[in-house]
């Protein structure tokens, strides 16, 4: 739904870019009315299904993400490089929705998953946009790679390193075992190394290597995280033990 609306709004600008000039709306293969109807037919039932079939919190997050993508991120692409940070929030919300769908709550696990997706998007997108600088410039988009190339590379490196920190936080929050930060360290170090190469060399070769690494890094990291997750039964048992200990302490204090 969001992608359809984005392409509806950006037809005049997409026609100036090699990467997007063959999109259906630009070529006239689909009418603008059909694109909007398709977006509505996906968005409205989708939000309704999430709200009624899952829980209202997940539905609200879905509705908020469509709003954030179409009404904030899309116009900001032509106004400010802050669009990348807003776009990273948009990309971080879907795994948060997955967590709230399963648990019904917006707790530490949801925020950690969102944080991982948020940080991952900077090396992923900044590396991608580096090779498309001329295209973005022709389209009139305000991207870091075009207007602030040094910042583009620094931000990508920072968030590569942030992935190491977020992986370490997972067992502290009792979401995974301590095996997770250890097993994930090699792939996090590797993407950080490529992020440093991108920062230092600032060429198409280093940006491509970082981009292609990001494509397998995220599923690998999440797979390791899933493998090392703490089970709910284990947490419930721990909670029961704490409750029993508290109960015994209360019995001892009572005359």
Give me the pLDDT at residue 251, please. 52
Q: How many separate domains does the chain show?
A: 2
If asked whether residues 55 and 114 sit together in one domain, one would say no
Is residue 244 predicted with pLDDT exceeding 70? no
Query: How many angstroms separate the CA atoms of 119 and 251, rounded?
Result: 49
Is residue 243 predicted with pLDDT exceeding 70? no
Domain containing residue 250: CATH number: 1.20.120
Q: What is the mean pLDDT of the chain?
A: 88
137, part of any domain = yes
Is residue 221 predicted with pLDDT exceeding 90? yes
If asked whether residues 70 and 112 sit together in one domain, one would say no
241, part of any domain = yes
61, part of any domain = yes
If asked whether residues 4 and 59 sit together in one domain, one would say yes
92, part of any domain = no
- Span 170-215, pLDDT tens digits: 999 999 999 999 999 999 999 999 999 999 999 999 999 999 999 9
If asked whether residues 118 and 212 sit together in one domain, one would say yes
Give me the pLDDT at residue 195, please. 97
If asked whether residues 230 and 145 sit together in one domain, one would say yes
167, part of any domain = yes
Give me the pLDDT at residue 248, please. 54
If asked whether residues 69 and 114 sit together in one domain, one would say no
Is residue 124 predicted with pLDDT exceeding 90? yes
Give me the pLDDT at residue 16, please. 76
Query: How many angstroms separate the CA atoms of 45 and 53, rounded?
Result: 11
- Residue-range definition of the domain harbouring residue 73: 1-79
Is residue 250 predicted with pLDDT exceeding 70? no
If asked whether residues 114 and 239 sit together in one domain, one would say yes
Q: How many CB atoms lie within 10 A of CB 146?
A: 20
If asked whether residues 131 and 243 sit together in one domain, one would say yes
Q: Which percentage of the chain shows pLDDT scores above 70?
A: 91
If asked whether residues 158 and 240 sit together in one domain, one would say yes
∠ Cα 96 40 74 (to 5°):
65
Give me the pLDDT at residue 236, please. 54
What's the sign of the alpha-carbon dihedral 153, 154, 155, 160? positive
**What pTM value is reported for the model?**
0.84
Query: How many angstroms separate the CA atoms of 191 and 174, rounded?
Result: 25
Is residue 241 predicted with pLDDT exceeding 90? no
As a whole number, mean pLDDT of residues 136-143 equals 85
């Amino acid at each position: 739904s969001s992608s359809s609306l984005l392409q509806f709004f950006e037809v005049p600008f997409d026609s100036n870019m090699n990467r997007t000039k063959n999109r259906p709306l630009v070529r006239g293969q689909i009418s603008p009315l059909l694109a909007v109807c398709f977006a509505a037919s996906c968005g409205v039932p989708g939000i309704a299904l999430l709200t009624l079939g899952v829980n209202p919190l997940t539905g609200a997050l879905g509705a908020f993400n469509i709003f954030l993508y179409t009404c904030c991120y899309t116009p900001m692409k032509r106004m400010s490089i802050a669009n990348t940070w807003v776009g990273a929030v948009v990309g971080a919300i879907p795994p948060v929705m997955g967590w709230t769908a399963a648990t019904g709550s917006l707790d530490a696990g949801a925020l950690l998953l969102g944080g991982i997706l948020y940080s991952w998007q900077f090396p992923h997108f900044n590396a991608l946009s580096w090779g498309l600088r001329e295209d973005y410039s022709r389209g009139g988009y305000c991207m870091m790679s075009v207007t602030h190339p040094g910042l583009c590379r620094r931000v990508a490196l920072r968030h590569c390193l942030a992935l190491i920190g977020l992986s370490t936080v997972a067992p502290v929050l009792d979401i995974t075992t301590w095996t997770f930060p250890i097993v994930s360290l090699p792939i996090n170090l590797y993407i950080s190394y490529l992020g440093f190469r991108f920062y230092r060399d600032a060429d198409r070769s280093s940006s491509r290597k970082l981009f292609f690494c990001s494509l397998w890094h995220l599923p690998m990291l999440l797979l390791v995280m899933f493998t090392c997750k703490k089970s709910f039964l284990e947490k419930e048992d721990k909670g029961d033990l704490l409750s029993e200990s508290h109960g015994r302490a209360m019995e001892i204090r009572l005359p």
